[in-house]
Amino acid sequence: MKKIKLEKIKIGTLLDGKISTNKGSILYPNKTLFTKQLIEKLKKDKIDEIIFEAREKEKPISDEEKKEEDKIEKILEGFHYGGITRETIRESAISFRNITYNMLNGNDSIDFDSCKNSIFAVYEQIKTNPSAIVNLLDIKTHDDYTYCHSINVGIISLALAQKMGYDDETVKLIGLGGFLHDIGKISIPASLINKTSVLSEEEKRIMKSHPSHSYRIMSKDKNINPRIVNMAYEHHERYDGKGYPRGISGDKLDDYSVIVGLADVYDALTTVRSYKPAFSPEESISIIETYTGSHFAPRIAEKFINDIQNSLNKKNDFNKGSLVLLNTLELAQIVYLKNHADGEEVVVNLLTDSKNKKLNKTISVNLNDDKKRSIKRSVKFNELDGDSLKVNLTSSTNL
């Protein structure tokens, strides 16, 4: 057993063993990665020293723990990060891992601060990176539904709430609701969660109890805003009252729950499952359109459909070879476009100067490095004025 001053612990330190406070309460039962958020949380909780009990060397990592570690790695491998950094997604994954791990080990409380920090970090990036919404379409994973689904639903809920024009605090609240919406699945036997064959009526009944379990688990915790509890409780309700667990309908359903419900269905549709292929974003929104008015409140679903549709239109505009108008009024052509872990890298060749005069030599600009230039909009080839490569600026209402 070793006492360690918090100030001595560096970000990224991994302690393989039990971490407790000097008052004896166990903070983390096993392997813990000290993220920036975790260190800040401990400081906030006025914990300046921890007690570390190393795992016995001969004790191998259990299959369960190995599986947990692999899951995080799988998430990070499978994620296309869009405008969100790998580190932020990692924080979310670790935070979710800690919640589920603690709960599976009999500790029934949720590390709510850690969830908050993760979701807020994602939101900061969505807010400061205008292309993050477009890139939301890329935030998909191939495998492992449970973790990825919670993170995806959190992110999609955040983005939709932002589009609905809610203030910052509400957007974060809805994001947290999305992140925690399925927490009640912890109370459903894993054999049932992972079952790929058709469920019996009794099994369906048990599966459908997960919103009530979410309610039971979270409503006990006074730190958790009741609206978050409600989002988890209502995310399978339907506009026509044919959902579960209570069958409430129409305006009795909280708008926040409808947002999380939409994010949940959209993510489920666009993810590969053992029993179905992944639908494309286009197919998924057309399915959601079909269920608008029965499953989903039209007022919110239409906003969601338009938003994804606009994102698709924008996305299709920017390919290698696309012509774009920069904020400097220079015309350029995309010559390199690649999604990296920490965002999109775009290199353009400038074709004209800001006065529409054709350039005599090729100038390449990496827009990630050049902070003064950014893409204002795409330019269709028919907007060009003959050989001079001039954009017919007056034809555009965007200018």
Residues forming the site for Fe ion (CB under 5 A): 182
At CA 335, angle to CA 331 and CA 341, rounded to 5?
115
| Closest alpha carbon to 22 in 39, 8, 5, 35 | 5
Q: Which residue, 101 or 233, has its beta carbon nearer to Fe ion?
A: 233
Q: Which residue, 111 or 182, has its beta carbon nearer to Fe ion?
A: 182
Report, in Å, the least distance between residue 372 CB and Fe ion: 46
Checking DSSP bridges between strand 358-366 and strand 17-21, what pairing results, if any?
A: unpaired
At CA 163, angle to CA 172 and CA 134, rounded to 5?
100
Burial string for 121-135 (b: 16+ CB within 10 Å, else e) reads bbbebbeebebbbbb
Q: Which residues are paired to 348 by β-bridges?
A: 334, 365
Q: Which residue, 19 or 265, has its beta carbon nearer to Fe ion?
A: 265
Q: Which residue, 182 or 237, has its beta carbon nearer to Fe ion?
A: 182
Q: Which residue, 31 or 185, has its beta carbon nearer to Fe ion?
A: 185
Report, in Å, the least distance between residue 211 CB and Fe ion: 6
Report, in Å, the least distance between residue 264 CB and Fe ion: 6
Q: Which residue, 52 or 244, has its beta carbon nearer to Fe ion?
A: 244
Report, in Å, the least distance between residue 232 CB and Fe ion: 8
- Cβ distance 234 to 253 under 8 Å? yes
Report, in Å, the least distance between residue 182 CB and Fe ion: 5
Q: Which residue's CB comes closest to Fe ion?
A: 182
Question: What is d(CA 133, CA 125) in angstroms, rounded to the nearest whole number?
Answer: 10
Question: What is d(CA 233, CA 220) in angstroms, rounded to the nearest whole number?
Answer: 14
Report, in Å, the least distance between residue 297 CB and Fe ion: 18
